[in-house]
Amino acid sequence: MRRLRLAALLLLGALPISSLACASPDRGWWRGTFDGTVSGTVEFEIGTRGTRMRGSMTGTTRDGQPFEGDLRGKLDRGRIEATFEGRSRTGLGLPIVFDGALVGSLADGAGKGTWSARIALPQMIMDGSWSVVQSR
């Protein structure tokens, strides 16, 4: 009887710990592409609790210059809202800085949405769509 009570206490004591360890099905790495004014690849990771995301965007401008951006955001009930900042160079080697937003949804191991970015100088707006699949 004593062993049974001890086992029950241990089991009840472990319940809060196991509930903290619950993980979102959206956690892990997501990879895909984006296109529109410019195109490239997008990759992000969603944390264990399934609410925070971090990642990157890489691609090539229309004149062949590479660009990269850092992506940070959140996931709320399958809806993604993220911002990004990045840099590139013009064909003449002048620096270009941009920032933007990525919004959309994730469901059943796939995601899609839209993105938009702003370049300060010259003032220019870029936009397009994106799609990803859960890779692990």
pLDDT one-digit tens code per residue, 8-41? 544 445 444 444 445 678 899 999 999 998 999 9
What pTM does this model have? 0.78
Q: What are the pLDDT digits (tens) for 84-99?
A: 999 998 878 888 899 9
Mean pLDDT of 101-111: 95
Pairwise CA distance, residues 136 & 120, whole Å? 36
DSSP reduced 3-state for 121:
coil
Find where tokens 């013009």 sit.
Answer: 90
Closest CA to 53 of 82, 77, 25: 82
- Classify residue 81 as exposed, middle or buried by CB count within 10 Å of its CB (0-12, 13-18, 19+): middle
User: What residue ranges define each of the domains in the chain, with the CATH number in brackets?
Assistant: 23-134 (2.40.128.120)
